[in-house]
Amino acid sequence: MGELPTDLDVDAAVELLFTTVLGLRVRERAGHDPERLATAIDVAIRALGPTPTTPS
């Protein structure tokens, strides 16, 4: 599984995730496509650091 970068700005990451969650809640209530919302979640998580690797 991947790890967060040691130089990650934790406060900024919290703000990103909090804002993303609030936006997703609004979009879900407005009837937006769940697949597109899931894609937004994936992008937000990838923005936090490197892509997790699959154990060999």
**Mean pLDDT score of the chain:** 87
Hey, how many other C-beta atoms are within 10 angstroms of the C-beta on 17?
15
User: What tokens were used for 33?
Assistant: 């496509």
DSSP 10: H
pLDDT tens per residue across span 22-47: 999 999 999 999 999 999 999 988 88
pLDDT of residue 46: 87
Mean pLDDT of all residues in 5-17: 90
